[in-house]
Amino acid sequence: MSAHLKIEWWSAGVLALTIDRPERRNVVDHELLADLAGALAGEGAGARAVVLRGAGGEAFSAGFDLDLLEGSEKDLEADHAIGRAVDAITGCPAPVIAMIQGHCHGAGVELALTCDVRIASSDLKLSLQAVSLGVVYRYELVSRLVLLAGLGRASDLLLTRPTLDAGRALAWGLVSEVVAAGEVESRTRELAETIALLPRSAVEGTKASLVLAARRAVAEAPMEQIVEWRRKAIASGERRAALDAVKKRLGR
């Protein structure tokens, strides 16, 4: 079990999963993502609502740990780990609520957007910077962005790479609700407990129906071609140079 995933029950029906690496703005890695997937499949199966959050109040998650990326095709293994965690969120029968405070970037955005409900604090800073690292995002994230925000805004977020504040993220449909930073946990607890009291079969059936509707667009995509686009980008010399430049800027 990862030392960076905290599992606790807020009540008999509400499970809280906390990415517990605040000194690194809750970056994720292979082990943490695997443990997250395991907790959702295990403890999550018995929950009536699940909360996913980051520790410390400064960040939900700043994304995948750049120290583990080397600028080669091997980095696609990170995507496999992210994909398994994403699949576990959608596969969890209980609704998953993202409690998003502060920084939310890269893989953190994909985890948050996969959740069924997203409660953001007013200090949210959300961005997707992969293109500047020479990476083509997973098609599942791209399609999710288009479903939530529309093609134009998805293009803007991915290509011009703005950092969205809470108000803009709400207007774009990327978060469900915005509350004051000091109130986000109490609001999330209130919402989770409300969902936990609803008829379980109706909640689980509704979530399953929504997941099925969202998957239809992905199922029709030419996945072999998409994989090739991603492989070509991630193994390019430009990608390695971009990754090295970012690591140097961060002092890695």
Q: Judge whether 63 and 97 are in contact, CB under 8 Å.
A: no
Question: Is there a domain that residue 245 lies in?
Answer: no
Question: Is there a domain that residue 137 lies in?
Answer: yes
5-9 vs 14-19, strand pairing mode: antiparallel
Predicted pLDDT at 7: 97
Question: Is there a domain that residue 118 lies in?
Answer: yes
Question: Is there a domain that residue 165 lies in?
Answer: yes
Give pTM, 2 decimals. Answer: 0.91
Please write the tens of the pLDDT for every residue from 72-129: 778 788 889 999 999 999 999 999 999 999 999 999 999 999 999 999 999 999 999 8
Does the structure show a pLDDT above 90 at 249?
Answer: no
Predicted pLDDT at 242: 72
Question: Is there a domain that residue 222 lies in?
Answer: no
Q: How far apart are CA 128 and CA 163, in angstroms?
A: 8
Question: Is there a domain that residue 130 lies in?
Answer: yes
Question: Is there a domain that residue 167 lies in?
Answer: yes
| CATH number of the domain bearing residue 170 | 3.90.226.10
**How many domains does the structure of the chain reveal?**
1
Please write the tens of the pLDDT for every residue from 193-246: 999 999 999 999 999 999 988 887 666 667 677 677 767 777 777 767 776 777
Predicted pLDDT at 21: 97
User: In the chain, where does DSSP find H-type helix?
Assistant: 30-41, 76-91, 107-114, 139-149, 151-155, 166-171, 184-196, 200-219, 223-234, 237-249
Please write the tens of the pLDDT for every residue from 36-80: 999 999 999 999 999 999 999 999 999 999 889 877 778 788 889
According to DSSP, residue 164 is labeled B
Domain of residue 131 covers: 5-196
Does the structure show a pLDDT above 90 at 156?
Answer: yes
Predicted pLDDT at 214: 86
Average pLDDT value for residue range 179-192: 97
Question: Is there a domain that residue 114 lies in?
Answer: yes
Helix pair 223-234, 76-91: axis angle to 10 deg: 140
Predicted pLDDT at 158: 95
